Chain A
């Protein structure tokens, strides 16, 4: 065997061993949850045995000794699984750690270096001797590590058959599986993804040229290129996908060790381990996830006696679950611990000077809990005792947001805490909306986009409201804050509702709440390749990167979170725009159309009652059954004046242009004639009566009420 081959074999050995160790560790930890002991011990034995076998082959003296000691102990345990108690499990876990340490040395130096685990070896021997001395039924103390079972274990020894005493016929069942999978260097995959990214750009460019040239042959070829590129992209991205399981495997051990050191009882359940995620993202959320889990055990779950005192199961439960939802992966970490005390959090933040007393006074519980995300909130030990939660949460949030994810905490004091992470599947190539803002193209990742709205002048006033200088969109019985992108980016003056004829709004969601973005136009959707930005452009905060468009120009990629925070539209404010407070705003203020209604004077009509404002020449008014009627939208409708609605005679002008309001509710056969639109303004909401606007007395009236009354009360003309 050549040097290279040997090095290759050694690499394989390290990879295999490290995988086996991970799995074994998981199994061992699972033992405390009542997994089948015998099988686990047998599997652990096999892992150790195959490592020992390979050690002989690679002449790794110290690791051989350690794995031999471990194997001997396991041989006994395998025979008498009932001997396995918590202390022995700990020794076994330590054994795995010791093996790992040797493996690390081997990986770095090629040999197993100095004997660093002599003490561990001694402990293993002492434990083994202790067990052998124990009078346990069925255990014959002098039984050496059994040679027989080695035939059974052979199938798990995958690559290393140099161990002489292995039966060669036991190997094949695994070989087939191996043939289906090869190990590929991650950097190679990353390069592939980059190249495909470039290919996507070329494809986009080609599509654009094709649409200009309009050549049939070219078109056919380009369409084919398009399809193949899309498929290639999908497949290549697939190669980077890894199951969440690869993160989850480390968690039980972590929880176990931490719980032990804190003298707590914690049971960890994981689900959705098969949920796949881009490996780059997976890597990026590893630390935050560990951190959150640590927090849960450390500060969330109470001590046994405390749990018993409040009537909880003495064993704390933590569940990590992952699942797909739309284009994201949702990871939730739920514990049944002490929860977060919003009052304590608030006091702490106040003492640290992170919030003012005033601000704190108006905060909801949820907002107070979110204070834990403030930088500098929780570096001290003190807070962990008071609040029970929140060390380094700002770092966690930053890490999550760096991969365009979001984090949300909800907690019920004394009941538990739930943390939900929303993570995009992949980062390199993302579907985006191409927007036009002040004639400049921007890309907006499609992931947070909820809907696109196009409001025309007639309905705009009904759906868009300006309250206290901020724009809001009436949507499904709530008000959504609206951000004027042009103004936010300082490209245009803030829009004036009155001057707009059409508004395009992109409704996006952030952290479970929605808001709107006013843009000039949505051009199309494109798959874009995200390129990173220079640090001082990144520092602007509203861009997630830049991309190269089909025509070779660069477009900025907007970051929804950054836009929200620049617009000071913090999640809290968005929340404040939620139902309750908003309803209040809506009922307290009303947008009205101020119209000159002839003899009825100035009247104010709520805009939501008006669907359209139309104009017609007085000459086009006809008489039908002694009532003035016009043809409007292929129907005959009656013209009613405001004075009539108020019980006076009709004052319909006979000449010139007539303006009329088309009500937005179901009285389809009547429109209300007026003289002039004077203004659109906001008034305190009143259903009927009079108010003073600009020094003039104005009748406020509800078209709906008056028209309905008229329909109900009198004979209807047409």
Chain B
């Protein structure tokens, strides 16, 4: 049991995803964002978190196909990124699950290509498959050109 890790799970569309609890600073219900015109598409806007301005990345835009509609009231997950927090939009935030490190399996070839760069491992729990994201990759999704990876996912 000592070799176990906790994950914060969340839903994006059909996907059950997770991030290590240690990388998640806080979670929030839907908040009003300030849009940033001309910013990359994954930038949902800016958020005032107790006097600190956070960039909010819409992780859903990266994970989902372009055609899928996004829910109007996403939840916000604040992630640590080298001491500079960044916020992520996800559909719903779920439970914290504990998982022995042995239960983490390598990401299978079958997951869509656009998710492969984000996914560090998967957790199989019966029928449930949870994608475990790499916090650093997730926190920088707009650094990688999102449109390209999306194209990759379509083909």
Does B associate with A?
Answer: yes
Q: A residues near B, CB below 8 A? A: 198, 201, 440, 489-491, 531, 533-534, 536-537, 540, 542-543, 546, 548, 552-556, 566
CA distance A490 to B41 in the complex (A): 13
CB of B39 within 8 A of CB of A536, answer yes
Most chain A CB inside 10 Å of its own CB: which residue of B38, B45, B47: B38
Instruction: Encode B28-72 as 1/0 by CB contact (under 8 A) with A.
Output: 000011111111100101111001110100000000000000000
CB of A554 within 8 A of CB of B34, answer yes
Question: Is B109 located at the chain interface by the 8 A CB criterion?
Answer: no
Interfacial chain B residues near A489, Cβ < 8 Å: 37-38
CA distance A566 to B142 in the complex (A): 21
CB of A531 within 8 A of CB of B53, answer yes
CB of A546 within 8 A of CB of B37, answer no
**What is the minimal beta-carbon distance from B19 to any residue of chain A, in angstroms?**
19
Given A546-B53, A553-B32, A554-B53: A536 and B37 interface contact (C-beta under 8 Å):
no
CB of A490 within 8 A of CB of B34, answer no
Interfacial chain B residues near A534, Cβ < 8 Å: 55, 84, 86
**What is the minimal beta-carbon distance from B3 to any residue of chain A, in angstroms?**
35
Given A534-B55, A536-B39, A548-B51: A555 and B86 interface contact (C-beta under 8 Å):
no
Residue of B nearest to A556 (CB): B36
CA distance A546 to B53 in the complex (A): 8
A-B CB contact pairs (8 Å), 24 listed: A198-B51, A490-B37, A490-B38, A491-B37, A531-B53, A533-B55, A536-B40, A536-B43, A537-B36, A537-B39, A537-B46, A537-B55, A540-B38, A548-B51, A548-B53, A552-B48, A553-B48, A554-B34, A554-B45, A554-B47, A555-B34, A556-B34, A556-B37, A566-B38
Interfacial chain B residues near A542, Cβ < 8 Å: 38
CB of B48 within 8 A of CB of A540, answer no
CB of A554 within 8 A of CB of B46, answer yes
Most chain A CB inside 10 Å of its own CB: which residue of B36, B37, B48, B142: B37
Question: Is B14 located at the chain interface by the 8 A CB criterion?
Answer: no
Interfacial chain B residues near A540, Cβ < 8 Å: 36, 38-39
Interfacial chain B residues near A555, Cβ < 8 Å: 34
Residue of B nearest to A545 (CB): B53
Question: Is B95 located at the chain interface by the 8 A CB criterion?
Answer: no
CA distance A553 to B33 in the complex (A): 8
Interfacial chain B residues near A198, Cβ < 8 Å: 51
B48: which of A537, A548, A566 is its contact (CB, 8 Å)? A548
Q: B residues near A, CB below 8 A? A: 32-40, 43, 45-48, 51-53, 55, 84, 86, 142-143
**What is the minimal beta-carbon distance from A144 to any residue of chain B, in angstroms?**
60
CB of B43 within 8 A of CB of A537, answer yes
Residue of B nearest to A198 (CB): B51
Interfacial chain A residues near B46, Cβ < 8 Å: 537, 546, 554, 556
CA distance A537 to B84 in the complex (A): 14
**What is the minimal beta-carbon distance from A429 to any residue of chain B, in angstroms?**
14
**What is the minimal beta-carbon distance from A547 to any residue of chain B, in angstroms?**
8
Interfacial chain A residues near B51, Cβ < 8 Å: 198, 201, 548
CB of B53 within 8 A of CB of A536, answer no
CB of A554 within 8 A of CB of B48, answer yes
**What is the minimal beta-carbon distance from B108 to any residue of chain A, in angstroms?**
31
Interfacial chain A residues near B38, Cβ < 8 Å: 489-490, 540, 542, 566
What 7 pairs between A and B have smallest CB-CB spacing? Answer: A489-B37, A554-B34, A534-B55, A554-B46, A531-B53, A540-B38, A546-B53
Interfacial chain B residues near A556, Cβ < 8 Å: 34, 36-37, 46
CA distance A566 to B52 in the complex (A): 28
CA distance A306 to B7 in the complex (A): 75
CB of A536 within 8 A of CB of B35, answer no
CB of B32 within 8 A of CB of A440, answer no
Interfacial chain B residues near A566, Cβ < 8 Å: 38
Interfacial chain A residues near B34, Cβ < 8 Å: 440, 546, 553-556
CA distance A533 to B84 in the complex (A): 11
Interfacial chain A residues near B47, Cβ < 8 Å: 554
CA distance A552 to B34 in the complex (A): 11
Interfacial chain A residues near B39, Cβ < 8 Å: 536-537, 540
Starting from the known contacts A537-B55, A540-B36, 4 additional A-B residue pairs (CB-CB under 8 Å) come to A201-B51, A440-B34, A534-B86, A556-B36
CA distance A489 to B55 in the complex (A): 18
CA distance A621 to B34 in the complex (A): 56
Interfacial chain B residues near A554, Cβ < 8 Å: 33-34, 45-48, 53
Interfacial chain A residues near B33, Cβ < 8 Å: 554
Residue of A nearest to B142 (CB): A536
Residue of A nearest to B51 (CB): A198
Most chain B CB inside 10 Å of its own CB: which residue of A533, A537, A555: A537
CA distance A58 to B88 in the complex (A): 57
CA distance A552 to B51 in the complex (A): 8
**What is the minimal beta-carbon distance from B126 to any residue of chain A, in angstroms?**
39
Interfacial chain B residues near A440, Cβ < 8 Å: 34-35, 37
CA distance A548 to B51 in the complex (A): 7
Residue of A nearest to B81 (CB): A534
**What is the minimal beta-carbon distance from B42 to any residue of chain A, in angstroms?**
9
